[in-house]
Amino acid sequence: MRKRKKKYLKYNEIDTKNIKHLSVIMDGNGRWAKKQGLPRTAGHSAGVEKAREIVLFTKELKIPYLSLYTFSKENWKRSMDEVSFLMNLIVSHFEKEFQFYIDNRIKIIHLGDKNGLPEKVLNAIYKVEEDTKNFDSITLLLAINYSGKYDIIQAVNRIIKDGVNGEITEDIFKNYLLTKDIPDPDLIIRTGNEFRISNYFLWQAAYTEFYISDKNWPDFTKEDMIEAINNYNNRERRFGGVK
């Protein structure tokens, strides 16, 4: 039997109505820098610039939520110099791009463990969260010092602390996660040609579709994002059922 060729939409036809939450694991900054003969820190700087481009493009596509895996709990294992650079980069980014978020009415929410983050990073996070809390064009979730295991454990500890009695249902448990008021991701894009979840959204990604790009994050383009969304739109999401 002849297989029907899948239809891939053009940019001006792209359909995002079935995507409420798009997420990206931004991988490959260090490898990108190495290929350019540059230090790893240059890759992280390029990655931040790419994130700005993709945030704005997501807003143009009218996708309500975008989450970016920015710094995991495991990333503390990297060299002190690299970690210090990344923390300073987060602060400088918020300072440099603050007006960008204001002008585009982008709401910022931090996901992750605030304990252990440097005070200057916390202050930058608190400021941008407070000053953008009433914006409604798009919500940008920045997973900084985040891990899926941490998210689940902190939810369990808060349930115990609150003395919740009776059976713990999925609905009750979800209300204790860091993403309690946020829809689960419909699509997670991972760059860098890596096929793993890296301790990210372990609960929330139970039925998320994945798209793996072989491009390192700084090389990821709007066209690549369109390809990922078109690929998603050509899938059948059955959520354990049968169609």
User: Rounded to the nearest 5 degrees, what angle is found at the Cα of 44, between the Cα atoms of 223 and 85?
Assistant: 160
Q: What is the pLDDT, as a whole number, of residue 227?
A: 95
Give pLDDT, residue 58: 96
Q: Are 111 and 78 in contact (CB under 8 A)?
A: no
- Give the pLDDT band of residue 238 (cuts 50, 70, 90): low
Q: Which of 18, 27, 216, 230 is catalytic?
A: 27
Query: In sequence order, what DSSP letters do the residues of 14-41 get, joined into one string?
Result: ---TT-SEEEEE---HHHHHHHTT--HH
Q: Is the distance from CB of 78 to CB of 196 less than 8 angstroms? A: no
Hey, is 68 helix, strand or coil?
strand
> Is there a catalytic annotation at residue 224?
no
Q: Active site includes 75?
A: yes
Query: In the structure, what pLDDT confidence band is assigned to residue 240 with cuts at 50, 70 and 90?
Result: low
C-alpha separations of 227 from 38, 223, 224 in Å: 29, 6, 5
Tokens of 174: 């979800």
Give me the torsion for CA of 203, 206, 211, 216, rounded to 10°: 20
Look at residue 9 and tell me whether its pLDDT is greater than 80: no
pLDDT tens for residues 196-216? 999 999 999 999 999 999 999
From the list 75, 104, 199, 231, the catalytic residue is 75
Give mean pLDDT, residues 93-104. 94
With beta carbons less than 8 A apart as the criterion, state whether 164 and 89 touch.
Answer: no
Return d(Cα 20, Cα 39) in angstroms, integer: 36
Residue 49 dihedral angles phi and psi, to the nearest 5°: -65, -40
Q: Are strands 65-72 and 106-111 parallel, antiparallel or unpaired?
A: unpaired
- Tens of pLDDT, residue by residue over 47-78, are 999 999 999 999 999 999 999 999 999 999 99
Q: Are 46 and 82 in contact (CB under 8 A)?
A: no
Q: What is the mean pLDDT of residues 94-111?
A: 95
pLDDT at 116: 87
Cα angle 45, 51, 56 (rounded to 5 degrees) comes to: 140
Cα torsion 126, 189, 176, 65 to 10°: value is 60
Q: Quickly state the pLDDT bin for 15 (edges 50, 70, 90).
A: confident
Confidence of residue 12 (pLDDT cuts 50, 70, 90): low
The side-by-side arrangement of strands in the sheet containing 106-111 is 106-111, 138-146, 65-72, 21-25, 187-190, 209-212
- 8 pLDDT higher than 60: no
Predicted model pTM: 0.91
| 12 Cβ neighbours under 8 A, 6+ residues apart | none
Looking up tokens 């605030």 gives 114
Phi, psi dihedral angles at 104 (to 5 degrees): -95, 5
pLDDT digits (tens, 9 = 90+) for 148-176: 999 999 999 999 999 998 999 999 999 99
Statement: residue 233 has pLDDT above 70? yes
